[in-house]
A and B are shown apart, each in its own frame.
Chain A
Amino acid sequence: MPTGLQHLLNVGGESLGNSRLGIEVTGHNIANAQTPGFSRQRPDMEPNTPIGYGNIILGQGAKVARIARAHNEYLEEALRRETQNHGKAESFEHNMSRLQGYFNPDLTSTVRTRMDSFMNSLRDFANMPEEPAARINLLETANSFTASINLAHTNVVGLQNDISQELGVDCEVASQKLREIAGLNREILALQMGDNTRPHDLEDKRDLALAELSNLMDVQMYKDDRGLYTVRGAGGQLLVEGIFNSEIRLEYSSKGDQPQIVCTDFANTKTNPITDKIVGGKIAGMITVRDKYSQTVRNNLNEIAYKFGSKFNEIHRMGFGRAEFSESNGRNFFEGIDNPEFEPAQQITVATLIRQDTNSIASAMTPLTPGDNVIVNELLRITSEPMYSNGSATTAMFYDNFVASIGSATMTAKNELKASAVVKANVQTQKEQISGVSLDEEAANMLKYQHLFTASSKIITTADEMFKTVLDLKR
């Protein structure tokens, strides 16, 4: 069978369509040049199956076999991993900076400085136990001292509460992302018909949702044979499978403990606690600051309030006061520290009686001795008493040590943040090299397809002229 001019028209026509498609894909790429998560697409052209004509085999023009997506799954996975690390480093650094801010060396109202003032007014008092002004001054500095402990405690608890609130929001965002991934799984399942017709833009959206989820927590993704994502996280919890997803929530307890993160099953009928199982992402960073570092500071402040206050009271109770209190002893100086479990750092105050009448402050070892300062000197010795860390640290040392350990942790966090940002940026660059849109390249493509379009139309006009010539044969 001889080839006909009709065939030539078909080849030209198809090529015209191909080049128009090329321009369309180029346009799509340019439109999405700055869209987060978008992977550049390109039309994969291939020659049509040739047909034999007698003793020759003749090509049949070209067709667009598929629209391919420039994408690398392994880089995508590496990016997710680095996003997790970076998310964790970022939230850890951010919250540690807040925590260490309360112990900034510029501050003059810290527990440390207020304790120094308190001790020095105690020294003044030791010089002149008869002097009412020394007693009043002692009361004032004692009030500031307890207030500074109360404030430090309030600050730390405030930070913990702020973190919990942010965790609540992030859990909602995480659930949102899980729903999004499951939803996209459903849409992809509906649209795709074989390998050549994958809905690339939806796949990009799904990868983006997964990357955003990775920023919040550590997740692992498996692709099933239909190309749907199964997502596990927080110690192997099933988060998304096909078109189903679980929810992540923050649950407040009635006992005043820190609110915990739970994960539901697909049917939303039962929940699993996962707070301690999240080891990556922003949420892990926040939990570490809330439950480890802030909690340690909080416990240490409670320990200081309890041990220092109790020791002070123990000695103070032995002593006698002035005037109407010069023959009686057994009074406490601090209140609110009876039980180490009840947040003594929040409760500690100067005892009511002391606040009402400074003559009740004890200074003397024996009754009716106005110049006796033996008890005051004993109280001063508390500062050099190693009451903490198994009898190895004084109050000041104990305080210094935990401030230094917060500082060191923050310093490490800052370095880790820098490192993780560099690593993440590197992987992102690698991904962009493959998937990103280059306007220069698209400009060249546009020109390329435009020329193709022009040339294809020439084939058609040429064929048309040839038809005309043939038709003109019969005149």
Chain B
Amino acid sequence: MRVSERMKFDATRNRVNEARFFAMDTQDQAASGRKLRQVSDDPSGTVRVFRNRTRLENINQFRRTNDYVEGFLGKTEDSLRSITETVMRAKELAVQQSNGVWDAGSRNTVSFEIQQLAEQIVQLGNSTYGDRYIFGGFQTQQPPVAGDGHYGGDDGLIYVQLDEDSFRPINIPGRRIFEISVKDHGADVPLLKIVQDFKDSLQKNDLQGIYQASSRLDGALTQLAEMTASLGARRAGVRDAAERLDTLEEFSLKDNVSLESADPVTTALDMKRAETALSYTMNASAKVLGPTLMEFLK
């Protein structure tokens, strides 16, 4: 086989170039610590990385939402519990005062406590969480319980997204808390009115009124229990979603590390290989390119 000058030089150039490219590539990989540097390095892997990143970004957001919802539900639960306790106290007093042993004077004294309970109900009904009235449905910017006890909010359920595919309600509209349905009355009666009627009956020493208040407060307690139960369900749903986020996050992180990161041991070995290859190529080229027959013919 004839070996021409250009062949010699071209082959050397190609070999050195190849060794250099390999060295540069491994160096780049070692310096960046990444094996996924271009889409073409792993097209389907890139897509998975994209999706995992979106997932992780969203998980951060869902966590923030979750923190907010936890606070919102916590506040709702506190308020609802206090309302329930207030109504229970009223019911307790109603049962106590419906007993014949109490006289008008003591009933009048109890009526002051009831007045305070009534004020508490209005206060608790108008609880806020971060400038939002929690019991107003969508009407979050004005107090839902008016001075006369009528519910001024609406029935709006506020849904928020807690993970990729579920939207859950976080609020309890106050209608079923502050408007109590009673058997002997066509329309619902405001909770506040029941308490205030109770107070009036105490002041008037009206035993019949006290009986009626007692039974109506029962109705109120039933509705409050229903609301507490549905609040519990909301909290459980939120916790459930939060736990799933942890599992998903771990999976997505692991997947991305395995797709994106270069293995340090492999990279180090590759570097060493590249270094050796390059210096061998250089040495060999220096020896082969030099001598021609010209130098030996004198």
Q: Do A and B come from one complex?
A: yes
Contact call A370/B39, Cβ cutoff below 8 A: no
Q: A105-B49, A436-B7, A437-B4 are in contact. Are A127 and B65 (CB under 8 A)?
A: yes
Q: Which residues of A contact B252 (CB under 8 A)?
A: none
Q: How far is the CA of A113 from the CA of B52 in the complex (A)?
A: 12
Asked whether any CB of chain B lies closer than 8 Å to the CB of A438, the reply is yes
Q: Which residues of B contact A353 (CB under 8 A)?
A: none
Asked whether any CB of chain B lies closer than 8 Å to the CB of A310, the reply is no
Contact call B293/A444, Cβ cutoff below 8 A: yes
Contact call B5/A436, Cβ cutoff below 8 A: yes
Q: Which residues of B contact A201 (CB under 8 A)?
A: none
Say what secondary structure dominates the interface of chain A.
helix
Interface residues in B64-105 by Cβ distance below 8 A to A read 64-65, 68-69
Q: Which residues of B contact A447 (CB under 8 A)?
A: 297
Q: How far is the CA of A116 from the CA of B37 in the complex (A)?
A: 21
Q: Which residues of A contact B4 (CB under 8 A)?
A: 33, 40, 432-433, 435-438
Contact call A372/B156, Cβ cutoff below 8 A: yes
Q: A117-B57, A371-B141, A425-B14 are in contact. Are A407 and B158 (CB under 8 A)?
A: no
Interface residue from B37, B65, B132 paired with A106 (Cβ < 8 Å): B37
Interface residue from A123, A366, A428, A436 paired with B138 (Cβ < 8 Å): A366
Contact call A120/B58, Cβ cutoff below 8 A: yes
Asked whether any CB of chain A lies closer than 8 Å to the CB of B283, the reply is no
Interface residue from B6, B57, B138, B293 paired with A370 (Cβ < 8 Å): B138
Which residue of chain B lies nearest to A370 when distances are taken between CB atoms in the complex?
Answer: B141
Asked whether any CB of chain A lies closer than 8 Å to the CB of B3, the reply is yes
Which residue of chain A lies nearest to B260 when distances are taken between CB atoms in the complex?
Answer: A105
Interface residue from A40, A100, A434 paired with B38 (Cβ < 8 Å): A100
Asked whether any CB of chain A lies closer than 8 Å to the CB of B229, the reply is no
Q: How far is the CA of A123 from the CA of B64 in the complex (A)?
A: 10
Contact call B5/A400, Cβ cutoff below 8 A: no
Contact call A407/B39, Cβ cutoff below 8 A: yes
Q: How far is the CA of A130 from the CA of B297 in the complex (A)?
A: 96
Asked whether any CB of chain A lies closer than 8 Å to the CB of B12, the reply is no
Interface residues in B119-139 by Cβ distance below 8 A to A read 130-132, 136-139
Contact call A100/B167, Cβ cutoff below 8 A: no
Q: Which residues of B contact A369 (CB under 8 A)?
A: 138-139, 154, 156
Interface residues in B187-228 by Cβ distance below 8 A to A read none
Q: Which residues of B contact A429 (CB under 8 A)?
A: 7, 10-11
Asked whether any CB of chain B lies closer than 8 Å to the CB of A202, the reply is no
Interface residue from B39, B43, B165, B292 paired with A443 (Cβ < 8 Å): B292
Q: Which of A2-10, A215-223, A408-416 contacts B (4 or more CB under 8 A)?
A: A408-416
Contact call A364/B138, Cβ cutoff below 8 A: yes
Asked whether any CB of chain A lies closer than 8 Å to the CB of B279, the reply is no
Contact call A396/B54, Cβ cutoff below 8 A: yes
Which residue of chain A lies nearest to B7 when distances are taken between CB atoms in the complex?
Answer: A432
Chain A min CB distance to B295 (Å) = 9
Q: Which residues of A contact B269 (CB under 8 A)?
A: none
Q: How far is the CA of A128 from the CA of B53 in the complex (A)?
A: 25
Q: Which residues of A contact B140 (CB under 8 A)?
A: 130, 370-371
Asked whether any CB of chain A lies closer than 8 Å to the CB of B106, the reply is no
Q: Which residues of B contact A374 (CB under 8 A)?
A: 159
Asked whether any CB of chain B lies closer than 8 Å to the CB of A380, the reply is yes
Asked whether any CB of chain B lies closer than 8 Å to the CB of A60, the reply is no
Asked whether any CB of chain A lies closer than 8 Å to the CB of B24, the reply is no
Q: How far is the CA of A141 from the CA of B260 in the complex (A)?
A: 27
B286-298 interface bits toward A, Cβ cutoff 8 Å, 1 = contact, 0 = none: 0000001110010
Contact call B139/A371, Cβ cutoff below 8 A: yes
Contact call A404/B2, Cβ cutoff below 8 A: no
Q: Which residues of A contact B161 (CB under 8 A)?
A: 123, 126, 377, 380
Q: Which residues of B contact A435 (CB under 8 A)?
A: 4
Q: A432-B6, A437-B4 are in contact. Are A443 and B46 (CB under 8 A)?
A: no
Q: Which residues of A contact B156 (CB under 8 A)?
A: 369, 371-372
Chain A min CB distance to B73 (Å) = 13
Q: Which residues of B contact A380 (CB under 8 A)?
A: 161, 167
Q: How far is the CA of A457 from the CA of B31 in the complex (A)?
A: 70
Chain A min CB distance to B289 (Å) = 11
Q: A105-B50, A377-B161 are in contact. Are A371 and B137 (CB under 8 A)?
A: yes
Asked whether any CB of chain A lies closer than 8 Å to the CB of B47, the reply is yes
Contact call B167/A105, Cβ cutoff below 8 A: no
Asked whether any CB of chain A lies closer than 8 Å to the CB of B36, the reply is yes
Asked whether any CB of chain B lies closer than 8 Å to the CB of A441, the reply is yes
Q: Which residues of A contact B265 (CB under 8 A)?
A: none
Asked whether any CB of chain B lies closer than 8 Å to the CB of A403, the reply is yes
B21-63 interface bits toward A, Cβ cutoff 8 Å, 1 = contact, 0 = none: 0000000000000101111111110110111011001101110
Contact call A130/B7, Cβ cutoff below 8 A: no
Contact call B6/A407, Cβ cutoff below 8 A: no
Asked whether any CB of chain B lies closer than 8 Å to the CB of A124, the reply is yes
Asked whether any CB of chain A lies closer than 8 Å to the CB of B233, the reply is no
Chain A min CB distance to B237 (Å) = 16
Contact call B43/A116, Cβ cutoff below 8 A: no
Q: Which residues of A contact B1 (CB under 8 A)?
A: 433
Interface residue from B47, B132, B294 paired with A400 (Cβ < 8 Å): B47
Q: Which residues of B contact A443 (CB under 8 A)?
A: 292-294, 297
Q: Which residues of B contact A73 (CB under 8 A)?
A: none
Q: How far is the CA of A425 from the CA of B260 in the complex (A)?
A: 35
Asked whether any CB of chain B lies closer than 8 Å to the CB of A154, the reply is no
Contact call A105/B138, Cβ cutoff below 8 A: no
| 29 contacts across the A-B interface (CB closer than 8 A) | A33-B4, A40-B4, A97-B38, A97-B40, A100-B40, A113-B57, A116-B57, A117-B57, A123-B62, A123-B65, A123-B160, A124-B64, A130-B131, A130-B141, A371-B132, A371-B139, A371-B158, A373-B160, A400-B51, A404-B43, A404-B46, A406-B39, A407-B43, A432-B10, A435-B4, A436-B6, A436-B7, A437-B5, A446-B297
Besides A116-B54, A437-B5, 11 new A-B residue pairs in contact (Cβ under 8 A), listed by A number: A33-B6, A105-B38, A127-B69, A128-B130, A372-B158, A377-B160, A403-B43, A407-B46, A411-B41, A428-B10, A434-B2
The 7 closest A-B pairs by CB, nearest first: A436-B4, A371-B140, A407-B39, A407-B43, A410-B40, A369-B138, A372-B138
Using a CB–CB cutoff of 8 Å, the interface residues on chain B facing chain A are: 1-7, 9-11, 14, 34, 36-44, 46-47, 49-51, 53-54, 57-58, 60-62, 64-65, 68-69, 130-132, 136-141, 154, 156, 158-161, 165, 167, 260, 292-294, 297
Using a CB–CB cutoff of 8 Å, the interface residues on chain A facing chain B are: 33-34, 40, 96-97, 100-101, 103-106, 112-113, 116-117, 119-120, 123-124, 126-128, 130-131, 364, 366, 369-374, 377, 380, 384, 396, 400-401, 403-408, 410-411, 413-414, 425, 428-429, 432-441, 443-444, 446-447
